[in-house]
Structure 1
Amino acid sequence: MDIYKQLEDLTLSNQLSLEEIPNIDLYMDQVIQLFESKFSSSKRNDDEKVLTKTMINNYAKGKLLFPIKNKKYSKDHILLIAMIYQMKSALSISDVGKTLKGINHQVSEGDIQLEEFYGSYLRLMEKNVELFEEFISSQQNSVGEEINNKEVSEADYLQQVLLILSFTGMSNFFRKAAEKMVDNLVWKEENKDEA
């Protein structure tokens, strides 16, 4: 079994770079087109949508984005949508909203340069890809040791099942850790509002 061949198609390092985002405001259809062109290779099947009008409208209604002006999305809106895109598969929309509440406020007030923050995020994701690849190698070795005495035809299947179990287990660990952090996330402006 060649796990690397199977995971090659994941395009883990595929992120929306700052250079790919136009410096002009975009209409919703243009935003959707940008995301479809960038992330279509990440879709599991052709029926899956990367981003839809309904999704964007729900993000706006749920206050995951600071207010849109004249039906156009700024570069900062697009950066937020890119971060939402990454978080929504692991966290509830409510948790994503809570996570980004302070960021949205700071962007609206001009207290944060979102491009700089997003650049930090992109650098962390590059490191995460490296760590993931190291983890895959380690897990494949561990699984191989667990299955080393099985028949070849049976071993391949059992290795894949153990890897699936391991990956979903780690995914759950990370999701639970993220949820715990969301539950304990305190933005200093929230404390001012309550005082």
Structure 2
Amino acid sequence: MKEIDALIEGLGLEKRLTLEDIPNIDLYMDQVTQLFENIYSESKRDPEDKILTKTMINNYSKAKLLFPIKNKKYSKEHLLMISFIYQLKGGLSINDIKAVLDKMNAKFEQDQGGLAEVYNGYLSLHDKNSAGFKENVKTIDNMVNQELDNINDNDQEYFRSLLLITTLVNQSNMYRKLAEKLVDELKEVDEG
């Protein structure tokens, strides 16, 4: 197995859509998909994977995850919402994403703004989370290596991989479950 640092480096954690990445003109769908492909291509598991497709964007629109598009062009605000969707879809269902983004969509449609500020807050937290993630994974790697001392088998590399994978998936599940609980609370507040 590659060293943990090399694996983490290959994740492309520093890649994210910033406000500066978005042109000051509205974009057609092909331009939107190309922008996302250019920014997030390093993070693909398989080179054939697509970051964002026309079908995905159409499905997001149909599910009302985005406020209405005008003249088949996507504004800077649409791209910020698509970026939120892109980040959330790895851990939440479409219905949960809709619950999370409904209020932001409504605020923007009512010209209450705030989307760029919230997105910048997300980017700041993303950078802090990435640094924390790297440290946490190194801690997990050290804990796994300690556990390997208790396993009497010649296939240590396999057991290291097994323990790392199960531990990382376990942590991922814990974070996802907590996020789902927060979505449920958000739904209760909106319904109440």
Query: Could you state the TM-score of these two structures normalised by the residue count of structure 2?
Result: 0.94
Residue 60 of structure 1 aligns with which residue? 61
Structure 1 residue ranges (4+ consecutive) displaced by more than 4 angstroms after TM superposition: 149-153
Give the secondary-structure state (helix, strand or coil) at the position aligned to 2:67: coil
Residue 76 of structure 2 aligns with which residue? 75
Give the secondary-structure state (helix, strand or coil) at the position aligned to 2:158: helix
The amino acid across from 1:178 in the alignment is A
Root-mean-square deviation (CA, aligned residues, Å) is: 1.8
Does residue 143 in structure 1 map to residue 144 in structure 2? yes
Does structure 1 retain, via aligned residues, the 8 Å contact 2:8–2:134? Answer: no
Residue 103 of structure 2 aligns with which residue? 102
Give the secondary-structure state (helix, strand or coil) at the position aligned to 1:94: helix
Residue 155 of structure 2 aligns with which residue? 154
Identity between Structure 1 and Structure 2 (%): 48
Give the distance between the partners of 1:95 and 1:130, measured in 2 at CA.
Answer: 27
Q: Aligned-pair distance for 1:186? A: 4.7
Does structure 2 retain, via aligned residues, the 8 Å contact 1:102–1:187? Answer: no
Give the distance between the partners of 1:152 and 1:112, measured in 2 at CA.
Answer: 59
Give the distance between the partners of 1:135 and 1:42, measured in 2 at CA.
Answer: 20
Give the distance between the partners of 2:180 and 2:162, measured in 1 at CA.
Answer: 27
Residue 91 of structure 2 aligns with which residue? 90
Which stretches in structure 2 are left out of the alignment for 5+ residues? none
The amino acid across from 1:20 in the alignment is D
Give the distance between the partners of 2:48 and 2:138, measured in 1 at CA.
Answer: 32
Query: Could you state the TM-score of these two structures normalised by the residue count of structure 1?
Result: 0.92
Q: Mapping of 1:24-35 within 5 angstroms?
A: 24-35=25-36
The amino acid across from 1:98 in the alignment is A
Give the distance between the partners of 2:79 and 2:18, measured in 1 at CA.
Answer: 11
The amino acid across from 1:31 in the alignment is V
Does residue 50 in structure 1 map to residue 48 in structure 2? no
Residue 115 of structure 1 aligns with which residue? 116
Give the distance between the partners of 1:63 and 1:128, measured in 2 at CA.
Answer: 29
Could you give the per-residue CA deviations for residues 124-182 of structure 1, whole angstroms, max 9, x where no partner exists? 00010011011111111111110025579522221111010000000000111111111
Residue 170 of structure 2 aligns with which residue? 169
149 and 175 in structure 1: CA distance in 2 versus 1, 3 angstrom threshold:
closer
Residue 21 of structure 2 aligns with which residue? 20
The amino acid across from 2:164 in the alignment is L
Give the distance between the partners of 1:150 and 1:101, measured in 2 at CA.
Answer: 50
Q: Aligned-pair distance for 1:7? A: 2.2
The amino acid across from 2:167 in the alignment is S
- Of 74-83 and 10-19, the range deviating more from structure 2: 10-19
149 and 174 in structure 1: CA distance in 2 versus 1, 3 angstrom threshold:
closer
Give the distance between the partners of 1:102 and 1:187, measured in 2 at CA.
Answer: 13
